[in-house]
């Protein structure tokens, strides 16, 4: 058996590989430079074109580009009319922004538990947490796999709730053949560099509902409108005139970011193929290892995976998750953990959320590790990661003892 790098053996690879990274090529750079030397670097034609293309790609009627994925979630909560006294149900196994957006509006996140096999929010747990104050659901397509949209839609309709989908991980995923982005009341995307396509910082909200669209527009541009039909008090004075009709934010995307994202969007299908291909290789390599569990997919989701999680099986391993993680790093495979349950953070603890709230999410958190997954990985990179995981499983296996 190969000695672990952690114990003085030779690492599986010389160069460190990280769990995710962007792929920006010369064409992307050219598209950005064109805009930088042009007339508009913000509020110009690239953003308009990006919104059009995002709507076409996702099959949604409307898309609003914003400054990042967190702003997208905040705008969606504003458009949903969420405010103090309201409760919004979300998952704890997510990036903090999925819950913070609810706090921005003065409302309370309520954490529903997850499914132990898919790691996505469990519709039954959503239903169990509904009260007369519940206003919306923020469901996260964790790792890129679509949530149980049909079941959640049905629950939201029955209880008159707004369905917000946090699709920061899931651009390119389809649910029952339809693109994520056209299915919930509002769908929020992130274009941070670790996500499937990027423009540095960036985000978008898509919707099919004209009323929500109008509110999203106001939310991301100071609550200001130039359109006479929305103006309330003052008479229209001249073509310069605009009116602030609500309290909004400056959450706009710049034109050079939009140009970068338009260029990245052209490569989305290629990125999806690469990611799917790597996931297939990982699944094949890990499926039969008793030391590991792999994430279960629901048949409705045709997933473009953003993250690949291995789950350690403590019945078959002599090491802790921490030891496995550190041993991978010693092999020069730098993993990550997605995520610490949101309500474990001191901010939420101080608000009164108790540990133990969502046992499934806590159990999964304690045994998962995200291994590298990004389109720019070479076949050798993929082999190295598989080799490192196998090497650790062999060294830490209870069976081989
Ligand atoms: C990345 C991410 C966000 C926030 O997106 P930013 O663009 O970083 O603001 C929100 N939710 C989830 C699940 C994410 O992974």
In eight-state DSSP terms, residue 68 is S
Instruction: Point out the ligand 1 atom lying closest to the alpha carbon of residue 98.
Output: 11
Atom of ligand 1 nearest to the CA of 71: 9
Higher pLDDT, 240 or 371: 371
- For 234-268, the pLDDT digits (tens) are 766 788 889 999 999 999 999 999 999 999 999 99
Beta bridge partners of 136: 88, 162
pLDDT at 401: 52
347 by DSSP, 3-state: which? helix
How far is the centre of ligand 1, averaged over its atoms, from the C-alpha of 319 (Å)? 31
Judge whether residue 366 has pLDDT over 60: yes
Count Cβ atoms below 10 Å from residue 45 Cβ, excluding itself: 14
Dump pLDDT digits (tens) for 93-123. 999 999 999 999 999 999 999 999 999 999 9
Q: Looking at residues 58-75, what average pLDDT do you find?
A: 98
Residue nearest to atom 2 of ligand 1 (CA): 168
Please give the Cα distance from 252 to 314 (Å, whole number). 47
The encoded tokens of residue 94 equal 């997510």
CA of 332 to the centre of ligand 1 (A): 26
In this prediction, residue 231 has a pLDDT band, given cuts at 50, 70 and 90, of confident
Q: 274: cis peptide before it, omega within 30°?
A: no
* Beta carbons of 55 and 61 less than 8 angstroms apart: yes
**Which has more pLDDT, 371 or 232?**
371
In this predicted structure, what is the pLDDT of residue 330? 98
| Tens-digit pLDDT profile for residues 314-361 | 999 999 999 999 999 999 999 999 999 999 999 999 999 999 999 999
Cis before 339? omega within 30? yes
Please state, as a whole number, how many other Cβ atoms lie within 10 Å of the Cβ of residue 401: 6
Q: What are phi and psi of 95, to 5 degrees?
A: -70, 145
Q: Say whether pLDDT at 74 is over 60.
A: yes
User: From ligand 1's centre to the CA of 158, what distance in Å?
Assistant: 29
59 Ramachandran zone, left/alpha/beta (phi>0; psi -120 to 50):
left
Q: Which of 22, 67, 98 to mutate to test the pocket of ligand 1 (most atoms within 8 A of CB)?
A: 98
Please say if the pLDDT value at position 400 is more than 90. Answer: no
Q: Among the atoms of ligand 1, which is closest to the Cα of residue 195?
A: 1
Reported confidence tier of residue 44, pLDDT bands at 50, 70, 90? very high
**Nearest residue by C-alpha to atom 5 in ligand 1:** 69
Q: Which of 188, 192, 204 to probe ligand 1 with, by most ligand atoms within 8 A of CB?
A: 192
Distance 64 CA to ligand 1 centre (A): 16
Place 172 in a pLDDT band, splitting at 50, 70 and 90.
Answer: very high
* Percent above pLDDT 90 for the chain: 94
pLDDT score of 270: 98
379, pLDDT greater than 60: yes
Q: Distance from the CA of 44 to the center of ligand 1, in angstroms?
A: 25
- Express each pLDDT in 300-314 by its tens digit: 999 999 999 999 999
Q: What is the mean pLDDT of residues 42-69?
A: 97
Q: What is the mean pLDDT of the chain?
A: 96
From residue 148, give the alpha-carbon distance in Å to each of 119, 165, 255. Answer: 11, 11, 35
**Angle (CA) 373 375 376, round 5°:** 105
Ligand 1 center–CA 169 separation, angstroms: 8
Ligand 1 contacts (CB < 6 A) are 68-70, 94-95, 97-98, 140, 166, 168-169, 190, 192, 203
Adjacency order of strands within the sheet including 87-90 = 62-66, 203-207, 186-190, 162-166, 134-140, 87-90, 108-111
Quote the tokens at residue 60.
Answer: 């949604």
């Amino acid at each position: 058996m190969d000695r672990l790098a952690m114990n003085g053996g030779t690492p599986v690879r010389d160069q460190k590989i990280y769990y995710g990274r962007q792929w920006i090529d010369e064409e992307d750079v050219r598209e950005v430079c064109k805009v930088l030397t042009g007339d508009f670097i913000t509020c110009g034609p690239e953003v308009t074109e990006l919104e059009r293309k995002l709507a076409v790609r996702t099959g949604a009627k409307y898309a609003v580009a914003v400054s990042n994925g967190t702003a997208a979630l905040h705008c969606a909560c504003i458009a949903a009319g969420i405010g103090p006294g309201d409760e919004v149900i979300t998952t704890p196994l997510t990036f903090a922004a999925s819950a913070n957006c609810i706090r921005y509006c003065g409302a309370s996140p309520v954490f529903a538990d997850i499914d132990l096999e898919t790691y996505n929010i469990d519709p039954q747990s959503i239903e169990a947490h509904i009260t007369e104050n519940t206003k919306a659901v923020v469901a996260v397509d964790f790792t890129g796999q679509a949530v149980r949209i049909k079941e959640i839609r049905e629950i939201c309709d029955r209880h008159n709730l707004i369905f917000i989908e946090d699709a920061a991980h899931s651009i390119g995923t389809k649910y029952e053949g339809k693109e994520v982005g056209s299915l919930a009341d509002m769908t929020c995307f992130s274009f941070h560099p670790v996500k499937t396509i990027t423009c540095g910082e960036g985000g978008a909200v898509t919707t099919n509902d004209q009323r929500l669209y109008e509110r999203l527009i106001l939310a991301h541009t100071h609550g200001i409108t130039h359109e006479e039909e929305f103006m309330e008090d003052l008479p229209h004075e001249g073509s310069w005139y605009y009116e602030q009709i609500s309290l909004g934010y400056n959450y706009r995307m710049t034109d050079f970011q939009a140009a970068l994202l338009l260029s990245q969007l052209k490569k989305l299908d290629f990125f999806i193929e690469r990611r799917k291909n790597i996931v297939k290789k990982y699944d094949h390599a890990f499926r039969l290892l008793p030391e590991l569990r792999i994430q279960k997919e629901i048949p409705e989701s045709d997933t473009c995976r953003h993250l690949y999680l291995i789950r350690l099986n403590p019945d078959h391993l002599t090491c802790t998750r921490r030891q496995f993680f550190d041993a991978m790093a010693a092999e020069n495979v730098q993993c990550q953990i997605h995520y610490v349950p949101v309500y474990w953070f001191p901010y939420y603890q101080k608000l009164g959320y108790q540990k133990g709230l969502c046992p499934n999410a806590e159990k999964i958190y304690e045994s998962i590790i995200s291994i590298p997954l990004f389109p720019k990985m070479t076949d050798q990179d993929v082999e190295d990661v598989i080799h490192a995981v196998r090497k650790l499983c062999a060294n830490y296996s209870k069976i081989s003892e």
